[in-house]
Structure 1
């Protein structure tokens, strides 16, 4: 039986997740979607919003955050959904998991790797993060959770763009691109977005992702290449003045945003020694795994005629054999790492030592 695609919908408080989810449920797309959502407190207001004029299945979890200490509830909920589906009690072919606005989406994503029953029924399609254009700069400054939500995203949907000017929007996009250079950005005001841009995008599947967008591991806009083909993206301030108010009694004119969560890219035309690379990646995951939000790559291995693809979330890392290298394409490795205060120089130097 085919695995059920799951989408994790995240974003900071007030970004517009529920508005987007409501539009997804009400759109005439022919899909049958089950929703797992959670809020703190006894009364779930979102449930009242979402079930109006909708026959979708809503699973409420009001006893805490599914992506923190009670992640087991998510496993139980997914397992229960699968059992009821197999018993013919429910009919659905997609699952959307809406996290609370203060959530770290990392443990939610890890659920799809660590539990056998979840693995047997579901596949993680993508992490979609909604970003509030009006307040995101302040949220990114003040809340690590907001940075993590951006860092884990397979796609970023920017909401409330009608409330900011062009300069402020450009500055926000530049900052988001530095935190997560591999996530495409789309605008989604009032939840308006094509269903194909949210569901079944295979954002978490590296093979499919590369087929859709071969350049997604390209260098960030401000990356600087060196003679060996490595591309570096500093986690420093963006250096752009953004002349707009945030509505919080202060502004950030000429401010530098030193985000703790940022990305860097490694590229090389030289092949890797498989044994050396395996040893190095194992050591950095052991040492820095909790700080490694997302990492993906397409690797050129010594003596291999096929690509090797790898990806990971925190300490969970895996690899697979990809497509054959085309005779006309330029061969080389591309890797992106997104994490919190990762020692980029250690990673770059270590990867260089693994090259043939």
Structure 2
């Protein structure tokens, strides 16, 4: 029986690409014991942050292809070349599936985590200590401070970079059932997705863990892809501008959900209510947001650029008034 490296390079490249782009089977609504496969958030206080009615899959998150990369130098080199080709073709996606049923229940399941970039810092000083305080401690607490900041006793911190986090928002159900199944505020889908993102960025990919991971996770590009219900005639769709807080028989228009996913960032930016402040960390950890409908771009927001412009303006104002 031939060994893997005995295969022609063309076949090895096909295997590499299959590993990089592999996804778990897409979940479907309504199968036996469906609801028991998710960890649900139904606490009354979760309504204030928009997480009420979120279900997180209890399945283990898919493994990355790091084990294959670590086999030997030849596989590392060959697979690295295929990874670069796949990235240029936008095929390397950390993918999360979200089923939005009746715009009120949201089921989150990992589909693929092919690659992430994780780095560990050893001996770094605390980011919460100001530079002047850091120098003072280094000068006056020389022995214990240096001892704790180096060697085996050094503090460890890790960071993970996700190049592209792709979220498929699959729409199911009817607007008429929106209020009967969930008494949460009307803009449920946008806040449910924010809740899942906060869970991933602060607690890691394992949805069964509710403690902060201690790892700093950032995203270069977040893609929120709206997937309309299959085989729905156009006459069933409600108007695009149909208010999200009103109820009527009909299917929500994909552009209505897309607008909701664009507008939620304005709510977070303004931080005028509890939810806006609660999800402010998403602004700091996500560089760019792209909202799509069936993989066609609807809107793009450069969150990092907006944040840097705001910080620069804040510094100019502070300098002008002498803060």
Give the TM-score, by structure 1 length.
0.25
Give the TM-score, by structure 2 length.
0.27
Larger radius of gyration: 2
Point out the structure with the larger helix share.
2
